[in-house]
């Protein structure tokens, strides 16, 4: 397969690239690195990246920003970061990429554990992750030509625990390589409309 991987330089993205590149052609994309430049917050950037890479069999997104802050301090602008980047960025990857992905191809988006197991200061991430799950479920019954869509929802990643440990006390960390297997399941399997939890 020919796979476009957004966020390949991140902790999860590197593991996904290692997992999938053993069997497929992986084209990496990111705001500041990768084979092509792609800014999730800019639909024109997404269109340009699709035009540059041409026909694809799968699109995988392992990127997306949200704001972590106490709820009492969150502003509309703070929430907008996650809405513009992690939510609408991934929605736009699907909406703008449908004609670029071959029949039966797939989109794999990234959510996270906070949609079902919240933490203090995680309201934006929880909201966005829940919205992504609902979008994938709904889109799965309307996508044309047998296109599939799934969300991978990992827990806190072991390799990122040093930075996030204070927020995730009591959570069992997930190795990035194990999370990457869920992306492979989405890309190489046949299921659609699923949220693959990695816990």
Dump strand ranges (E) for 48-193: 56-61, 101-110, 148-154
Q: How confident is the model at residue 92 (pLDDT cuts 50, 70, 90)?
A: very high
The answer to whether residues 81 and 96 touch, using CB atoms and an 8 Å cutoff, is no
The answer to whether residues 18 and 26 touch, using CB atoms and an 8 Å cutoff, is no
Dihedral sign of CA atoms 154, 159, 164, 170 in order: positive
Give pLDDT, residue 5. Answer: 98
Give pLDDT, residue 9. Answer: 96
Q: What is the pLDDT of residues 127-150, one digit of tens each?
A: 999 999 999 999 999 999 999 999
The answer to whether residues 110 and 185 touch, using CB atoms and an 8 Å cutoff, is no
- Per domain, the residue ranges of the chain are 2-198
pTM as predicted: 0.97
72 in helix, strand or coil? helix
> In the CATH scheme, what is the homologous superfamily, with its name and number, of domain 2-198?
NAD(P)-binding Rossmann-like Domain (3.40.50.720)
For the record, the structure tokens of 58 come out as 């799968």
The answer to whether residues 87 and 128 touch, using CB atoms and an 8 Å cutoff, is yes
Taking residues 171-192, report their average pLDDT.
98
Q: What is the pLDDT of residues 32-83, one digit of tens each?
A: 999 999 999 999 999 999 999 999 999 999 999 999 999 999 999 999 999 9
């Amino acid at each position: 397969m020919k796979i476009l991987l957004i966020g390949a330089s991140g902790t999860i993205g590197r593991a996904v690239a290692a997992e999938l590149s053993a069997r497929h052609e992986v084209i990496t994309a990111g705001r500041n690195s990768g084979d092509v430049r792609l800014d999730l917050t800019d639909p024109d950037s997404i269109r340009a990246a699709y035009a540059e890479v041409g026909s694809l069999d799968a699109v995988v997104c392992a990127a997306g920003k949200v704001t972590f802050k106490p709820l009492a301090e969150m502003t509309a602008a703070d929430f907008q970061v996650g809405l513009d980047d992690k939510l609408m960025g991934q929605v736009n990857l699907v909406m703008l990429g449908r004609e670029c992905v071959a029949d039966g191809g797939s989109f794999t988006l990234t959510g996270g554990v906070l949609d079902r197991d919240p933490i203090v200061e995680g309201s934006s991430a929880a909201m966005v992750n829940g919205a992504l799950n609902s979008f994938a479920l709904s889109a799965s019954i309307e996508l044309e030509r047998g296109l599939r869509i799934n969300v991978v929802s990992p827990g806190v990643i072991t390799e990122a625990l040093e930075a996030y440990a204070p927020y995730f006390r009591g959570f069992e960390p997930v190795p990035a390589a194990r999370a990457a297997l869920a992306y492979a399941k989405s890309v190489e399997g046949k299921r659609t409309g699923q949220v693959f939890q990695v816990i």
